[in-house]
Structure 1
Amino acid sequence: MSESITARLEHGPRRGETIIMLHGNNAGSWMWEPQTERFQDRHILTPDLPALGERYREPWPGMGGAADDIAGIIRAHALGGTAHVVGLSLGGVVAIHLAQRHPELVRSCMITGAPIAGLTRLERLLIPPQLPLWRQRWYWQAQAMTFGIPADARDIFVDSAVRVAPETNRETYREVAAGIPEEPIAYAGPLLAIAAEKEQHSVKDAFPTLRRRAPQLQSWIAPGMHHPWNVEDPDLFTNVIREFVDTGVWSLADRSPEVTGTSRTHR
């Protein structure tokens, strides 16, 4: 990564345990500003994923390559060479690949909005025709309103999205649509998967699949939330991270073998 990108990577004091946050597709490290503002007592890493954010000129290396890239950042910048991993959307998928390929680096893993088992038949029909539109500002301006992105963050949201290369959009879609391999996940530590109540069903429908590969899974439906709920309710999102990182448990999570796809507890 360039010196300017590295300068934006680290936040907070270099003490305690590191939390690394992996952003969603067509976004960048800027999306974690609500969390870095609330985590001024923690050491936080907010890297841009390869081919996204300020690294948009780089080629997409595949999920495995992206996970290896993040592993290198953890080794180089995280305290003690390990980190608590938080991933949203595409960042959540990369986080699972990281946990599989480099389990020794992961202290805990929290993912949200990540369709780990792949996309539904309907999503596979609807999304590919939209891929050419991912280079159009009006498309992402509409998405920003749908997602509840605050007005003061919409310009950077749109700017980040439209400059992503078409090849990156095609490849990330293809890999997300396929889902993760049918094999046990090597990582055995605390794992929390969250779906926002108002996002696509493929996220919460993936809970049973993920639990078969990682029996320690905790899962939760965030009531009333949309896909990027770290900006929709930053206090709640940050509180979930803080409790999970500190205890290895989210108190509202479902830890039973069966997941019905509905939330047990609403705020």
Structure 2
Amino acid sequence: MDEAAPAQDGVKPHPELWYLSINENASNTIVMLHGLGTSHREWMLVWPFLTSYHLLVVDMCGHSGSSGIRPATIPAQAEHVAALIQSKAHGGTAHVVGLSMGGFVTVELARTYPQVVRSAFATGAAPFSGIRMWAANHAQVLGVMNTAMHSVLLQRLSGWLDEMAWSAQGLTIPDQLRRDLKENNSSELIVEVFTSIADVQISGMEKVPVRALVVAGGKMDDVASTTLQGAALKAGCPDSKAVVVRAAFHPWNLQLPELFAQGILAWVEQRELPEEFETLA
């Protein structure tokens, strides 16, 4: 297991994302993209079940080892991930897995750089509607609320609320990830990412030629929007699919990591998905 340093000046026209390379002797590469405010360590509970694949586990723009790389808009992040796949993935292509922000990047990557994506697996990344769209269109409000909740006066309350939420969702948060969550808490980053996600639309996804699976966590995610997203993706590639995992919360890689990994392997290897993956479209 090797931790890669950023590329030297002059090698790329832009900085290279920080990544962790695991199982380098495996033939095929899976790239793993985390959600907003976390880090590559979001995948710590999942990667032990993926030993037959070379893994590139990425710190996304504005986060941890890639904190100095901006902007963190969805299109910009897709461009950086495409460059990383071309230079570091075996054969210059990869299966791509993303959750939340990472899921939006995964779908955008499949749309704009299909030549580097062998398959796509995106969860919690359906285009926003309703209250989610309102929040994204008022991202400055989210930023102010985040700043207030993490002020000196409210830090203890914020930490207690986080712990309560994690416990209620049955999440396991490794200590290293807890530290990353604190370090990556940035109101500026929240505003930038949510504003970008607000621009993501179902329209255009019918042009994605890559075999893509979109997943909704049945406890938190937008199942209706995921269904529409899946139907659009199927128009571009008949083998694409939308499913819901009814027992899953939004960050279910930290809730049901073995099932999450089983889903990845089944999708990548074009096998039948686990029974918990209920077809939507």
TM-score category of the 2 structures, normalised to the smaller one: 0.7 to 0.9
Work out the CA distance in 1 between the residues paired with 2:113 and 2:5: 25
Could you tell me which residue of structure 2 aligns to residue 264 of structure 1? none
Q: CA 1:227 to 1:169, structure 2 compared with 1: closer, same or farther past 3 Å?
A: same
Q: CA 1:141 to 1:63, structure 2 compared with 1: closer, same or farther past 3 Å?
A: farther
Work out the CA distance in 2 between the residues paired with 1:91 and 1:247: 22
Could you tell me which residue of structure 1 aligns to residue 24 of structure 2? 13
Unmatched 5+ residue regions in structure 1?
260-267
SS in 2 for 1:224: coil
Could you tell me which residue of structure 2 aligns to residue 131 of structure 1? 143
Work out the CA distance in 2 between the residues paired with 1:142 and 1:14: 42
TM-score using structure 2 length = 0.78
Q: CA deviation at 1:118?
A: 1.8
Maintained 8 Å contact 2:106/2:120: yes
Q: Which runs of 4+ in 1 moved over 4 A?
A: 4-8, 125-128, 251-256
Unmatched 5+ residue regions in structure 2?
7-15
Could you tell me which residue of structure 1 aligns to residue 250 of structure 2? 227
Please say if 1:94 is aligned against 2:115.
no
Could you tell me which residue of structure 1 aligns to residue 70 of structure 2? 59
Q: CA deviation at 1:125?
A: 4.8
Work out the CA distance in 1 between the residues paired with 2:17 and 2:197: 27
Q: CA deviation at 1:90?
A: 0.5
Maintained 8 Å contact 1:99/1:186: no
Q: Percent identity?
A: 22
Work out the CA distance in 2 between the residues paired with 1:58 and 1:14: 29
Q: CA 1:221 to 1:206, structure 2 compared with 1: closer, same or farther past 3 Å?
A: closer
Deviation string, structure 1 residues 186-217 (Cα, Å, up to 9, x no partner) = 4323211111111133x542321442244233
Q: CA deviation at 1:146?
A: 1.6
Could you tell me which residue of structure 1 aligns to residue 231 of structure 2? 211
SS in 2 for 1:230: coil
Work out the CA distance in 1 between the residues paired with 2:173 and 2:184: 20
Please say if 1:168 is aligned against 2:189.
yes
Work out the CA distance in 1 between the residues paired with 2:279 and 2:105: 23
Residue identity opposite 2:5 in structure 1: E
Could you tell me which residue of structure 1 aligns to residue 9 of structure 2? none
Maintained 8 Å contact 2:215/2:226: no
Work out the CA distance in 2 between the residues paired with 1:110 and 1:226: 17
Work out the CA distance in 2 between the residues paired with 1:8 and 1:122: 30
Work out the CA distance in 1 between the residues paired with 2:248 and 2:242: 15
Root mean square deviation of aligned Cα: 2.9
Q: Which moved more, 1:174-183 or 1:233-242?
A: 174-183
Please say if 1:40 is aligned against 2:51.
yes
Maintained 8 Å contact 1:188/1:214: no
